[in-house]
Amino acid sequence: MMVTMVFLGFWQLDRLHERREANDAFVARAQEPIADVRELGPEADYRSFDSAKVFEFRNATATGEYLSDQEVIVRSRTYDTSPGSWVLTPLLLDDGTVVIVNRGWIPNSGQLNEVPEEKRAPIGPVRVDGLVRMTEQRSSIGPKDPDKGVLTSLARADVGRIAQQLDAEVLPFYLQLLEQDPPITDNDPIALDPPTVDEGPHLSYSIQWFTFTTLTAIVYVLILRKKRNDLEKEADLAALELDQDG
């Protein structure tokens, strides 16, 4: 138990370190000037998902037309604890490339397998401003989307999987929509809030695990002392009975 709790304590400290690094990156990149999604920096490699890491949380803009007939939902996404889905929409740029836009959240208790008609993207030219976000990829566990076929519902915001369904070059990240022209309406998906800059509960959780470890050690020592005292009492009682018998 103690080894497990110490491991969990250090794991939470690692999560805290990761959260602080992400916060620093978010603050630093949010201060950089807004840029076109195709001109984020000279080090950009628009063929590599890993290259997008250095641009995550950058403010970026894109102008084009939504491919509303190619939209997909991402299942099991909550908003203020309510069940729902994200709406991911390909945006066709003027040079023929595509950037995926996360237009926001819609309520979905499991009845929707595609974007409903009333939540479809607007037709015509549109300008979007948003945050560059990394594609989501499946870890060793979790639901898996089919490798083939045209999907309208995904388990995660997997840009690579969406790209399989599009006859165009797709940028290796997605934009989390913040503002749009024409403006976002009440009928559109609810735009997601930018990430919060806080350290989360990781420090308090690590303190809790280390505290539990300390208390466990103390209780264990007390149990051993009680056991030793009980054995000594039993030995003394046995010796006394032998003296009486003698």
pLDDT in tens, 168-205: 999 999 999 999 999 999 999 999 988 777 777 888 88
Token pair in block for residue 25: 């990156």
Helices (H), 177-201: none
Separation CA 43–CA 68 (nearest Å): 31
- Global pTM value: 0.76
Q: Which residue has the higher pLDDT, 3 or 240?
A: 3
Q: Which residue has the higher pLDDT, 2 or 192?
A: 192
Q: What's the chain's average pLDDT? A: 88
pLDDT of residue 43: 63
Separation CA 116–CA 112 (nearest Å): 8
pLDDT of residue 244: 65
Q: What is the pLDDT of residues 211-226, one digit of tens each?
A: 989 988 898 888 888 8
Q: Which residues pair with 64 in a beta bridge?
A: 93, 126
Q: Above 90 in pLDDT, residue 91?
A: yes
Helices (H), the chain: 2-30, 159-163, 202-245
Helix (H) or strand (E) segment spanning residue 36: strand 35-36
Q: Percent helix, strand and coil across the chain, each rounded to 5?
A: 35, 25, 40
